[in-house]
């Protein structure tokens, strides 16, 4: 939830947050809409511009994933992973005390 926490609850940040949690997977627009529960997100590429990659598959089914070559995306994802690691390390230390 790094993008939403940093930039607010907008369709753009919700899409980025979802794709950032799953950076290696490709999703079509309907899957993204369903996962972030946003009916008005028609075209993730139009919303996210350079932050999303797209590729055309069979039957004109366009898929999207986060653009891990974008410097801003990389920076936010690194921060997100750093925070997640710190939380996991803290939880592990607390569990070892009991």
Domains of the chain: 2-97 (1.10.10.10)
Each of the 98 residues of the chain gets a pLDDT tens digit; together they read: 567 777 777 777 888 888 888 888 888 888 888 888 766 666 667 777 667 777 767 667 788 888 888 888 888 888 878 887 888 888 777 766 65
Q: Which two tokens stand for residue 96?
A: 């070892």
Report which of 94, 95, 19, 20 is spatially closest to residue 63, judged by C-alpha positions.
19
Residue 4 has what pLDDT? Answer: 75
Residue 89 has what pLDDT? Answer: 82
pTM for the full model? 0.68
| Strand blocks (E) in 22-96 | 27-28, 52-56, 62-66
Strands 62-66 and 52-56 turn out to be antiparallel
């Amino acid at each position: 939830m790094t993008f939403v926490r940093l930039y607010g609850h907008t369709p753009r940040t919700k899409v980025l947050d979802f794709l950032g949690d799953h950076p290696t997977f490709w999703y079509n627009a309907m899957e993204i809409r369903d996962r972030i529960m946003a009916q008005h997100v028609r075209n993730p590429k139009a919303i996210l511009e350079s932050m999303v990659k797209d590729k055309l598959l069979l039957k004109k089914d366009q898929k999207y994933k986060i653009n891990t070559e974008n410097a801003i995306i990389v920076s936010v994802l690194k921060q997100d992973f750093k925070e997640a690691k710190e939380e996991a390390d803290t939880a592990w230390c607390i569990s070892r005390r009991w």
